[in-house]
Structure 1
């Protein structure tokens, strides 16, 4: 997401707000300031791994039988690379299957996930308009789905392993396969990591029994500039923050795998907030995006390090700025991990709610969840 126009202001406001919040609490419950959140190393590691696999895949496509198999399987939705290669039976694909499986494990580790999660890398045709040239027998190039929306060029490989520099602002005439991550699968596993780590840090509280009031998302949209051809679909998740029934800060992660494309209105009817888990009638929401390089464990630890220093003062305190201040610096440079935020969402909130940066909106409604 091209959100750089919001980030400088948002980071400055977040830092100032967190400083003021800390100053206001100093007399009641002094706490040492948390060390600056370390920048996760996943972005560079994941990009390097993907690039190596892209080059290996390009070389393997010199085998006509294997190239035909990929052509049949790799549509715009993508297909898991390691299983596809393992099932091919050709020598070139066999070697690639081993390389891709090892890469899957390394990427899972870099993202703070279980190394045994399974296939993560997938291959897809970069743009549907390339299908005609592919069907006509034009040999494709292979590139990676670059996370940086502002990239001017994209590096791709041919069957000899040679590098080609493609214009990122227009769709190439030659077919291009993209190697990227199955972010839907990674996000589902990442959501479990967030929940587990927040619970371990004491930020999850206890689950309420009986029926409860919720806030339900009826519709939601994220706006943005043009999305480049080399970008895969996004996968988003929300962090809902407030004070739990025990008076401690609480964070709940909410997976939103349906929220994939900018400029598209989705109608998920999804539960966003379970109000029985919160002490006050207000909560905040931060919308995040996994473009493939998000380290979920590092994210949870960074957020927890800051939120654990905030004490309940007997009144609701907005926590969005604290969450934003906890994000490592690298997430405000090239990576579009922060998308939007909503302050002081109330249990009675209904109708359209515009995000704080103007990059998204959602319509919500109170909803009673009956327990049988």
Structure 2
């Protein structure tokens, strides 16, 4: 269902519904058990007590009574899925490394854009789904003049309304022909099929040709995704257009749902 190899192993897990419930796990309390709803926009979910009786639980607010949630191990699936995504994109020729010597002037290393801080207002993940599994797709034109996409795992970005300071490399400019790139931030959900995601991205990006000037690719990425991917598959979180190698400071996202501060960073060779 997720387009992952059998070597990934079991993805089934049972977890506490929210960290705030831990203090309520006393010896005289028997937690309820719920299955994570497939629709993250659900208003309620059903939890069952030890006698098998169903209870309606508000899906928009963390309940006072502790409960366990049965769902997919999102962190494990996310890690394996991004590996599949990168392999599929490389096999389809939209994320191959730049040829050696492409930037002769930077023989001692390469320029990058580093994220020093980032926050999103809504990570598109309700409480019963647990922490978000966030990744970004960096798009631009490669040294060969073809549209390319690189996936960047942002596994630390667990919750909305929280500022994170990752000091993470977002763009490796040696892979790109022009001094501009776009970023689309997504949140991984249970139904994500990574092979399908890679194929959709490939189909969309290979139709975009280099016209000798930079063309934003955010719209091409978003239009490639079925409508369901904006509900409970890899959710669209935010996007940034025309990120340049010399971009610095705070950059607000186009959707108004997040921001990040960036700075140029030179990665020296050893």
Q: Deviations over 1:128-162 (max 9, x none)?
A: 44345431322221113335443111012233444
1:206 aligns with 2:97: yes
Do residues 111 (structure 1) and 2 (structure 2) align? yes
Are the counterparts in 1 of residues 116 and 260 from structure 2 also a CA contact under 8 Å?
Answer: yes
Asked if 2 retains the 8 angstrom alpha-carbon contact of 1:294 and 1:337, the reply is no
Match of 2:65 among 146, 169, 174: 174
* Contact 2:123/2:159 (8 A) holds in 1: no
2:245 maps to 1:322: no
Report the counterpart of residue 246 of structure 2 in structure 1: 348
Indicate how the Cα distance of structure 1 residues 223 and 171 shifts in structure 2: closer, same or farther if over 3 A, else same: closer
SS of residue matched to 2:259: strand
Equivalent position to 1:236, from 114, 120, 134: 134
**Bigger fraction of residues in helix:** 1
- Give distance in 2, aligned partners of 1:261 and 1:118: 27
Task: Tell me, yes or no, if structure 1 residue 254 matches structure 2 residue 167.
Answer: no
Report the equivalent of 2:236: 338
CA distance in 2, matches of 1:250, 1:226: 26
What corresponds to 1:296 in structure 2? 194
Q: Distance in 2 between matches of 1:234 and 1:132?
A: 22
CA distance in 2, matches of 1:198, 1:226: 25
TM-score by length of 1: 0.66
> Does residue 219 in structure 1 map to residue 110 in structure 2?
no
Look up the match of 1:158: 49
Indicate conservation of the 8 Å contact 1:205/1:245, yes or no: no
User: Contact conserved, 1:147 with 1:231, CA < 8 A, in 2?
Assistant: no
Which of 192, 206, 226 is the matching residue for 1:308? 206
* Corresponding position: 1:282 with 2:173: no
Distance 2:93 2:161 in 1: 37
Change (3 A) 1:206 1:169: closer
Rounded to whole Å, the distance in 1 between the matches of 2:184 and 2:242 is: 11
Q: Is the 8 A contact 2:124 2:187 kept in 1?
A: no
Deviations 1:156-205 (A, max 9, x none): 22334443322224443432101232222222211111111111111123
Counterpart position of 1:124: 15
Aligned to 1:143: 34
* d(CA) in 1 for partners of 2:46, 2:55: 6
- Range 242-251 or range 162-171, more displaced: 162-171
| Residues paired across the two proteins, number | 263
Whole-angstrom CA distance in 2 between matches of 1:365 and 1:154:
43
Distance 1:226 1:188 in 2: 19
Structure 2 CA distance, aligned partners of 1:275 and 1:227?
31
Deviation at 1:369, TM superposition (A): 0.7
Report how far residue 237 of structure 1 moved: 0.5
Instruction: Indicate the structure (1 or 2) with the bigger Cα radius of gyration.
Output: 1
**d(CA) in 2 for partners of 1:222 and 1:279?**
30
Shift of 1:115: 1.9
Structure 1 residues 230-239 or 142-151, which shifts more? Answer: 142-151
CA separation of 1:322 and 1:170: change in aligned 2, threshold 3 A: closer
Q: Residue 143 of structure 2 aligns with which residue?
A: 245
Cα drift, residue 126 of structure 1 = 1.5
How far does residue 263 in structure 1 lie from its aligned partner after superposition? Answer: 0.5
